[in-house]
A and B are shown apart, each in its own frame.
Chain A
Amino acid sequence: MQALRFEAVELGQDAARLRAEVRAFLVEQVAAGALDARGDFVSGFSAAFSGALAARGWIGMTWPKRYGGAERSALERYVVIEELLAVGAPVAAHWIADRQSGPLLLRFGTEEQRQTFLPPVTRGTCFFCIGMSEPDSGSDLASVRTRADPVAGGFAITGRKVWTSNAHRSHFMVALARTGAAGEDRRGGLSQFIVDLTSPGLTIRPILNLAGRHEFNEVTFDAVFVPEARVVGKIGDGWKQVTSELAHERSGPERFLSVMHLLALAVAAAGRAPDARVRVAIGRLVAHLWTLRRMSLSVAGMLHSGSVPELEATIVKDLGNLFEQEAPEHLRLVVDPDAPGASAYRQALEDVILDAPSYSLRGGTREILRGIIARGLGLR
């Protein structure tokens, strides 16, 4: 069994200054009505808001300046994104490119790919989505059947991706497709491609979620041509490339801040002197949230100093999701959503209740995460 590492992390004075800048920016945005549609990192989509963030240099902010980045530290990025998520700012448009696709290209992409895609991402004008799940490939990602066949000058992709969040509002997809046999460990023969979502043969159809909202999609590929130059990394290395960034994806503040906005509204609705039962329920949630943030920051600190704490990151995600799902269940019983003046709280509560099932599905289901933790404990 490996020891769990969670050291205390301090962000320092520079981070405090940056935090103040972000808060001032958010005050302006609220005044301008840009934060009316609150959401989380999947549901709050606003190209205009992403553009405003880009103008401040807060998209791709850790990337090299030659690609439009600001060469800020990962911990500075942490400060920016947690401030945005805490108020439910609509960050979904640029989220995937900023968190995932950009870093993927920095790590495995060609120089031409970086120069082509990263600058427009940092300008807030180029949005990415991720094509991984398929009708028969959910948690079992190695079973992906969408295939990329070699053709003159590149590949022809044929197959179907589902649950592709915001594909209908994005410009490119990083698609995982089969280019060879899976091999004995089932992890071979997968490759990643940058697919232009306006390509001929590619069709995007909405899949409405249980709330009736259009966030995810079915994306079908009918011999969609992808030029050789849009292969990410090496052919056959898809599995390794996809899993190499999991610690970044799993431990971020988006895994527990989906309910921060709700919690703040609950505190407001509860008034300045709530009874003991309300104080206990809110105080408990606040302690959990504080702990999750300390855990997440601790992982961010380790990532910042170059280690890859996969076990710790996985723990943060599942615990964060548990908290996000538990919070509305407790709050609804102690802070009355029907009280006069509580309409914003009630709206946020209803939104979170409807979103909550997705928290422990997206980015790795609870059962898969716990399997990874069990492996870290030496049980598998």
Chain B
Amino acid sequence: MSEITTLIAESAARLFAGEVDKPLLDAAEAGTFPTALWTAVAAAGLPDALCLESEGLWPNWEAGAAVLVEAGRAAAPVPLAETMIARWLLAHAGVHPPDGPLSIAPTRRQGDALTLAAAGGGWTASGRLLEVAGAWHAAGLVSVVAAGGDAHLVLLAGEDLERVRRAALSGEAHADLLLSGRRAMVAPLPAGLGADVLWRAGALARSLQMAGALQRVLAIATGYAQERVQFGRPIGKFQAVQQALARLAQETAAAQAAAISAARAASQGEARFAVAAAKLRTGEAAGIAAGIAHQVLGAIGFTHEHVLHHLTRRLWTWREEFGRESDWARSLGALAAATGGDGLWPLLADD
């Protein structure tokens, strides 16, 4: 890790450890936006992590990774990933971002529709966007819309969003958005970025958050196995439990390596292959790991009182967002088929 990345990782870890606790997570789930947490996050400059020392077209995903792994580890109940991506894209397009948390809409869900219309020298946006992550509290929304053969970057102000709150599996504050001819700030999508830039950036962000959450889940399950005594000894002394926790560690390791490697690749290029593989692998790890952790923690881990579900429910939500495993598997499979048998190894190994 570079020096700046190490610094930002440490400051993010410290910040989240100090600010995010069980009462805060419960309050956020009940609908209270954690304003103090967000203020601290903004004051630390975390929303601009992707823009740090990023001179070319590609975001500083190494700094982004450092922040998002820590955010995931803490289950920080704020749309930091979405805000980071939105602010990076807006900065590139030369659009001044609104203050506060932002949301992003890749318009890839079944039922999503967003269209632009020219109106009085400006633009209006209409349509419907479903279950947009972080949108309930967002001060603005960034999307990418094709119009007239070009991809446009669209920014909608918070006051122009008609919202219907949707509770995600995680308890995070998502929303359906209804737009009927609301004014929109429109800018050309910076050259070199694909129209699916938000979809892939979101997938990478969720991969990193899952990698962080998995590390915490592993720590919780391991710690519990060392403390919980049955049959006269800690359950972690039983081989059956040890073998299960070893599997949990393996999935955590795979998620970590996949997400971190994809982040490195995405700092240097589009990284289509790496991001697809990372989202698939972390999503798969999430399901396996959550299952093992709950088995190890037994009934106490199934209570609302325990912190574990704030992590596992996020894992179950994040693996669904920005493409689930089958979506990314299909696109990787298509890529492999198009490359052919002889091209498969170079596809994997040439970096």
Contacts and interface: CB of A to CB of B under 8 A. Distances in A.
7 contacts: A10-B264, A278-B337, A287-B332, A318-B246, A319-B250, A377-B249, A379-B242
A302 to B, nearest CB: 12
B341 A4 contact: no
B243 to A, nearest CB: 5
B247 to A, nearest CB: 7
Contact of A373 (B219, B246, B276, B278): B246
Interface string B327-351: 0111111111111111011011111
Given A268-B341, A293-B348, A287 B330 contact: no
A268 B339 CA distance: 9
Interface residues of B, number: 62
Given A286-B344, A287-B277, A298 B257 contact: yes
A282 B338 CA distance: 12
A86 B349 contact: yes
Contacts of A293: 348-349
Contact of A287 (B236, B280, B340, B341): B280
Given A19-B349, A367-B243, A379-B242, A284 B222 contact: no
A294 B339 CA distance: 21
Contacts of B257: 6, 291, 294-295, 298
A373 B250 CA distance: 9
Contacts of A374: 236, 242-243, 245-246
Interface in B219-272: 219, 222-223, 225-226, 236-237, 239, 241-243, 245-247, 249-250, 252-254, 256-258, 260-261, 263-265
Contact of B329 (A274, A287, A369): A287
Most buried by B among A16, A82, A265, A268: A268
A268 B329 CA distance: 17
A269 B342 CA distance: 11
B341 A265 contact: yes
Interface of B: 1, 215, 218-219, 222-223, 225-226, 236-237, 239, 241-243, 245-247, 249-250, 252-254, 256-258, 260-261, 263-265, 273-274, 276-278, 280-281, 284, 325-326, 328-342, 344-345, 347-351
A16 B350 contact: yes
Main SS of the interface on chain B? helix
A284 B284 CA distance: 10
Given A272-B338, A287-B258, 5 more contacts: A10-B351, A11-B351, A264-B342, A291-B254, A376-B249
Q: Closest 6 CB pairs between A and B?
A: A279-B333, A268-B341, A283-B333, A283-B332, A8-B264, A283-B329
Contacts of A290: 258, 273-274, 277, 281, 348
B333 A282 contact: yes
Interface string A1-29: 10110111011000010010000000000
Given A287-B276, A374-B245, A270 B330 contact: no
A4 B252 contact: yes
A212 interface: no
Contacts of B223: 1
B348 A286 contact: yes
Interface of A: 1, 3-4, 6-8, 10-11, 16, 19, 82-83, 86-87, 260, 263-274, 276, 278-284, 286-295, 298, 312, 315, 318-319, 367, 369-371, 373-374, 376-380
A377 B253 CA distance: 12
Contacts of A266: 341
A82 B350 CA distance: 12
Contacts of B336: 267, 282-283, 286
B216 to A, nearest CB: 11
A370 B219 contact: no
A286 B329 CA distance: 8
B273 to A, nearest CB: 7
A284 to B, nearest CB: 4
A294 B337 contact: no
Contacts of A276: 330
Most buried by B among A276, A291, A376, A379: A291
Contacts of B328: 283, 287
Contacts of A281: 329, 333
A296 B41 CA distance: 35
Contact of A1 (B219, B276, B280, B342): B219
Nearest to B241: A379
Nearest to A23: B346
A8 B329 contact: no
Contacts of B258: 287, 290-291, 294
Contacts of B273: 290
A331 to B, nearest CB: 12
B275 to A, nearest CB: 11
B145 to A, nearest CB: 27
A289 B256 contact: no
Nearest to A293: B348
Given A264-B345, A287-B281, A290-B274, A282 B337 contact: yes
B226 A378 contact: yes
A258 B34 CA distance: 50
B348 A295 contact: no
A291 B277 contact: yes
Contacts of B239: 371
Contacts of A82: 349
B342 A377 contact: no
B253 A8 contact: no
Given A260-B345, A273-B337, A371-B239, A279 B246 contact: no
